[in-house]
Amino acid sequence: MSTNVQKFPNQFPIPLDPRFPAHSGSPRGKVGPVSVRRPVRGVSPEVAKVGLSEICLSYRTQSGERLLALDHINLQVHAGEFVCIVGPSGCGKSTLLHLVAGLHQQTSGQILVDGKPVQGPGTDRIMIFQEHGLFPWLTVGQNVEFGMKMKGVPKAERKEKTHYYLRLVHLAKFEKSYIHQLSGGMRQRVAIARALATEPDVLLMDEPFAALDAQTRDLLHDELERIWSETGRTIIFVTHNVREAIRLGDRVILMTFRPGRVKSEFPVDLPRPRHLEDPTVARAAREIDRKSVV
């Protein structure tokens, strides 16, 4: 299948009982005060961070028929790249992220992370959903700590990283608050801090800001961009909003409606930081919108 290229300027298992002690895995080495791990930039420059080749996925519907959701998807995402995926509702965007997260298995084709086949969820990848999935019985700090606890990170390191990542999302003062005491935007920032604290190489974000008001979303765009540039993570970000994709992405992937295919790719060369209302962003978004109906 050919793809047009156009150019213009772990999820966490839910704790059944919050009183249960967390799993203890192999503890990581104790770290100094500022030892936040930056991802290793690819196994070699030629190996994509995330590589999808010829991915097909069909679901079985209630009536027993097979529905082809993804049809021969090919996509290479480089280490440290911010890739946005856009396309109409039902085109398979979430399905694609689930496959990379290892939450579903493709019907055919191969997904590689750092050149190794994905065989299930891993701590090198994490999903952030539109519904943030925070635990209401835990404080903000405990929510951020939770993923690290599941990874077996020692307590002192957990505390240190919780503080670091809460500062990163400007929520240091809310460490002891409960989730119901926060606004929607603050909750989403806690979810981002929790995901980042497990230090995955790849963040998979499924319309994380869709439910937020415009002002909060603009602020979170700025913060996500800053965090991305400070931490060097690889981000695959799904959105319905083409302008949001241009605002954030190094590259925008446009998918077709059912079956989901990669219709076009648009490298975004506009200087950062960008803003949703920038005329250049609007122009680029119109170009993609035009392309999506052709």
Ligand X SMILES: Nc1ncnc2c1ncn2[C@@H]1O[C@H](COP(=O)(O)OP(=O)(O)OP(=O)(O)O)[C@@H](O)[C@H]1O
Residue 222 beta carbon to ligand X: minimum distance, rounded to whole angstroms:
24
Q: Is the dihedral of CA 192, 123, 143, 163 positive or negative?
A: negative
CA distance 140 to 163: 11
**Which pair of tokens denotes residue 41?**
């930039």
- Least Å distance between CB 129 and Mg ion? 9
State the binding partner of 142 from Mg ion, ligand X, none, CB within 5 to 8 A by kind. Answer: none
- Beta-carbon count within 10 A of 274 CB: 19
Nearer to ligand X by Cβ, of 89 and 215: the residue is: 89
H-assigned helices in the chain: 93-101, 140-151, 155-168, 184-197, 214-231, 242-248, 279-293
In the complex, which residues of this chain contact ligand X (CB under 6 A)?
A: 59, 61, 67, 69, 87, 89-95, 240, 258
Contacts of 135 (CB under 8 A, 6+ apart): 14, 15, 18, 142, 143, 146, 179
For Mg ion, give the closer residue by CB, 178 or 257. Answer: 257
Binding site for Mg ion (CB under 5 A): 94
Residue 91: name its binding partner from ligand X, Mg ion, none (Cβ under 5 to 8 Å by kind). ligand X
- In the complex with ligand X, which residue's Cβ is closer, 159 or 240? 240
Q: Which residue is nearest to Mg ion (CB)?
A: 94
215 touches, from Mg ion, ligand X, none (C-beta below 5 to 8 Å by class): none
Smallest distance, Mg ion to C-beta of residue 90, A: 8
Task: From the list Mg ion, ligand X, none, pick the one residue 92 interacts with, judged by a Cβ distance below 5 to 8 Å according to partner type.
Answer: ligand X
